[in-house]
Amino acid sequence: MNAALPRLLKSAYRREPIVSILITMGIVDALIGGFGDSWSLFAVGLGTAGVTLGWRWWRLQQLSPLPEEEPQAPQYYLPPRSSNSPLPMMTVNKKKPPL
């Protein structure tokens, strides 16, 4: 479990850096306000984290799924038969190999 948490946090920060920073700020403010008996800071922290999570959820709901496309025929870059002549045969020199 200890190794999974840093990997999860790194991937979250890479994908959504602004959302991750706002959620972290909100959680830290809520923790400081809760332990320091500052209920206004606690409320601001919870509000920041909650609004950020709500905004992120709303953005996910707004994304429409990609429409299903019909599979296209493969596109080839070379014609089926690029030349009429066969390839030349490779010859191997029978010299002494280098040491």
CA dihedral sign of residues 4, 10, 14, 15: positive
Q: DSSP labels for 44-91?
A: HHHHHHHHHHHHHHHHHHHSPPPPP-PPPPPPPSS-SS--SSPPPPP-
Per-domain residue ranges of the chain = 26-62
Question: Residue 66's pLDDT is what?
Answer: 66
Low-confidence residues of the chain, pLDDT below 50? none
Question: Residue 99's pLDDT is what?
Answer: 62
Question: Residue 89's pLDDT is what?
Answer: 73
Tell me 16's DSSP state: -
Model pTM score: 0.55
Question: Residue 47's pLDDT is what?
Answer: 96
Question: Residue 55's pLDDT is what?
Answer: 92
